[in-house]
Structure 1
Amino acid sequence: MKAESKIKSLEAESTGLEQSSFSLSALSFELKIGYDGKRAANNLTGLGNYSRSLIEALANEFPKNQYFVYSPKVKSAKQIDTFFKQENIHLKLPLQGSFLWRSLNILKDLKRDEVLLYHGLSHEIPILIQHTNIKSVVTIHDLIFLRFPKYHKFIDRNLYEWKSKSACQRADKIIAISKKTKADIIEFYNINPDKIEVIYQSCDDSFKTAFDKSVLDKILIKYNLPEKYILNVGTVEERKNLKLIVQALKTVNEDYKLVVIGKQTPYFKTVEQEIEKLGLKNRIIFLKNIPFTDLPGIYQQASVFVYPSFYEGFGIPIIEALYSGIPTIAATGSCLEEAGGPDSIYVSPTDIEGLSSAINKVLNSANLQEDMKRKGLEFVQKFNSPLVTKQLMNCYINILS
């Protein structure tokens, strides 16, 4: 079936999709969709997890389509190897060298593979794609490099801005991962709001199933975790604001320790100095390079999850915590209220006393904990993979129609 007839079939069968319970997975056509796979094929956290989860969910929900993942190279790792074993997900490496491939030469490969739509999963798309018959989508996760330029080097900041602004101008559609990110795109890049669609992220399905007690016990022993602990997950960098948790911990119930999971940056020295100053070395445990398969088990045994970041595009760790049935405390000022919902607790990212009070409030009330767990789990269903995946496929259909 030629591309034109596929699109007509697509348009006819998708009429009234949003107003009905019509099942997209029942469609009889086959689409060939391309993705910027640099992160999916090489990163084991963050954007790598996002990219693989998104493509894998589409491949499962709409198995008749073919999903081409374009990357200049591929890393050998269990997560990545498993991802590419799926029958309708295809790794595409450069045929004639990787220099400028993702930005320019990839267009030859997209045309050869008869790709109808290309999705740039992290802020960029090929430079001249707007001059081809291939439709394009770009996902913008955040514009933190413009909102908080001090967190980025001058050269990096300007490169990020050029790539993302250019992609927003040239793409047929922009996907923002939160309402806050959409507002930032409009403010900084003066983009027509109608061109931007908010489609939230989900988290890996492994966070959505409770581990057996025997597995949880093994994880506690493996990482020498305390029986009671507060959890924080994320890169140890200034924007994530770990120092505030350390400062608040001084007046938090001493029966609880703080467990921190994340890559350490130079900011870690600032945190270390604060820990030493407050005499909290014995109450804080730092974990690095945790296998992804163990992470849900560490979440599920935490007493409370704390995420006081100054600014985020969305906040996937909050989604992971809510799915894990953990009361969550986050910061005001960006989009974390979107991720955490009305029954999580929010404090200013500069309020030490407020954070300490909020943590103690949760830890000292079993009723509050159960209420936050139940309502948080109800709220987070709006980010469930099948729902988000259908929204994304509907976005593709509307672009191609």
Structure 2
Amino acid sequence: MIIGIDANWLIYENAGIGKYSYFLIREILRQDKKNRYVLFANFIRHYKKRRQILLDLIKESKNKKCEIYISKIPSAWRDALSQTNVPIQWIYRKKVDLYFSSYFSGIFNNGFNKQIVVIYDLVFVHHWEHAGKKLSAYYLKRSIDAVEHCQKIIAISRSTQNDIEQSLGVDESKITIAYPGVDRGLFKKQAQAKCQIILDKYHIVKPYLLSVCTLEPRKNLE
């Protein structure tokens, strides 16, 4: 099987979705040496630098069945074309059996035959004031288009799955929950005594919640 992956977000974004995309793609390439992969991207500026990011990712994963396909068009063009009936093969002239995007903007209305998308949250529905009405309406439309043109949707939590079902009208059978993982090279199980030293140092008592996100209402911390 040939699997195409939208690699744009790991190039353009250094936090959040970008980090998620980078490490997810890296682990997929590390663990699956059976299927063939194509990393799709489109850019004109900083061509050598951005191409090198993809090459380094493949090298780090040690996957010899992965190639890069770069379309030299601006991201704004791709974003606009993805909302029309222009086929995705007009931009990515490569045949794949399955296409995966870690963000709704990577899904074309006239895309590949089998597509998978990740939905993180529907903050633009519940907290539209964060991005404003106009941008929130755009995010909602793109999300609706993405789930309509995908055969499978990955939700990063049960809460997200519930929102997708209720706000986007998607059947439960089309959604799979896949919780974000952690880098085992950075996060390792420690002895209880060592953990207690840190808890005492910062005056942390149970029960507590560790969060690495920004303190905003849209993060559901209240």
TM-superposed CA distance for 1:99, in Å, is: 5.3
Aligned partner of residue 208 in structure 1, secondary structure: coil
Out of 166, 173, 177, which is 2:156 matched to?
177
Alpha-carbon displacement from aligned partner over 1:264-293 (angstroms, at most 9, x marks no partner) = xxxxxxxxxxxxxxxxxxxxxxxxxxxxxx
Bigger Rg over Cα: 1
TM-superposed CA distance for 1:54, in Å, is: 1.4
Do the aligned partners of 2:42 and 2:73 also contact (CA within 8 Å) in 1?
no
Q: 1:45 matched to which residue of 2?
A: 15
Paired with 1:161 and 1:97, the residues of 2 have a C-alpha distance of 23
Stretches of structure 1 lacking an aligned partner (at least 5 in a row): 1-30, 212-226, 241-308, 312-330, 332-348, 350-401
Decide whether aligned partners of structure 1 residues 89 and 149 sit closer, same or farther in structure 2, where only a CA change above 3 A counts.
Answer: same
Matches within 5 A, 1:2-401: 31-73=1-43, 76=49, 82-85=56-59, 86=61, 87-95=64-72, 100-101=77-78, 103=82, 104=86, 106-110=88-92, 112-124=93-105, 125-129=107-111, 134-209=113-188, 228-229=201-202, 233-235=212-214, 238-239=216-217, 309=219, 311=220, 331=221, 349=222
RMSD (CA atoms)? 2.9
Structure 2 letter corresponding to 1:198 = I
Stretches of structure 2 lacking an aligned partner (at least 5 in a row): 191-199, 205-209
Aligned partner of residue 180 in structure 2, secondary structure: coil
Aligned partner of residue 171 in structure 1, secondary structure: coil
Paired with 1:228 and 1:180, the residues of 2 have a C-alpha distance of 33
TM-superposed CA distance for 1:91, in Å, is: 3.1
Do the aligned partners of 2:156 and 2:179 also contact (CA within 8 Å) in 1?
yes
Q: TM-score, normalised by structure 1?
A: 0.43
Alpha-carbon displacement from aligned partner over 1:355-385 (angstroms, at most 9, x marks no partner) = xxxxxxxxxxxxxxxxxxxxxxxxxxxxxxx
Decide whether aligned partners of structure 1 residues 106 and 169 sit closer, same or farther in structure 2, where only a CA change above 3 A counts.
Answer: closer
Do the aligned partners of 2:37 and 2:66 also contact (CA within 8 Å) in 1?
yes
Paired with 2:31 and 2:65, the residues of 1 have a C-alpha distance of 11
Query: Number of aligned pairs?
Result: 194
Structure 2 letter corresponding to 1:161 = L
Paired with 2:53 and 2:78, the residues of 1 have a C-alpha distance of 25
TM-superposed CA distance for 1:68, in Å, is: 1.9
TM-superposed CA distance for 1:113, in Å, is: 2.2
TM-superposed CA distance for 1:173, in Å, is: 1.1
Alpha-carbon displacement from aligned partner over 1:223-246 (angstroms, at most 9, x marks no partner) = xxxx934786334x5337xxxxxx
Decide whether aligned partners of structure 1 residues 169 and 203 sit closer, same or farther in structure 2, where only a CA change above 3 A counts.
Answer: same
Alpha-carbon displacement from aligned partner over 1:166-210 (angstroms, at most 9, x marks no partner) = 111121111111111010011111111111111222123332347
Sequence identity (%): 26
Decide whether aligned partners of structure 1 residues 109 and 152 sit closer, same or farther in structure 2, where only a CA change above 3 A counts.
Answer: closer
Structure 1 letter corresponding to 2:135 = D
Q: TM-score, normalised by structure 2?
A: 0.74
